[in-house]
Structure 1
């Protein structure tokens, strides 16, 4: 795992950790985000908002998620698959 990946993973865990699991869809995650859909994740030269994540990664997500690790693992894998990392 690169430093950028580790930093993003930590940010996702912080941001989504307050969600009430299981989460059934993307909208269940919005209340957990510190700045709602405008929450921005940044590491190294990579930056994207929660809205960008939702749009670009929607085809990769398999709701419901029963744990934070399951959700963050899928987000990280989707970012790599989409060439965003």
Structure 2
């Protein structure tokens, strides 16, 4: 069962990326969906990440293209878990 922090981050990410123009072929395809572009911040408990930091941290784990927001967010959450961030 996901932690409360993970559930909140999942919702933040879903809200931020739900309006992207899917399918998204690369990270740059996500930028227009973000309210503050690459500087958009996401909160995970006591940690805060900008979209740019997440992109850098998870660049080797993303499997573009993404056809929908759920697959994208699943991979972001899995990547953060693998990196020991969640």
- Tell me the residue number matched to 2:38: 37
Residues in 1 aligned to 2:9 and 2:3: alpha-carbon distance in whole angstroms:
10
State the shift of 1:43 in Å.
3.2
Residues in 2 aligned to 1:47 and 1:80: alpha-carbon distance in whole angstroms:
15
Residues in 2 aligned to 1:44 and 1:7: alpha-carbon distance in whole angstroms:
9
- Tell me the residue number matched to 2:22: 21
The two structures have a TM-score, normalised by structure 2, of 0.96
State the shift of 1:46 in Å.
1.8
State the shift of 1:44 in Å.
1.9
Question: Which 4+ residue blocks in structure 1 deviate beyond 6 angstroms?
Answer: none
- Tell me the residue number matched to 1:46: 47
| Number of corresponding residues | 85
Q: Which runs of 5+ in 2 are unaligned?
A: none
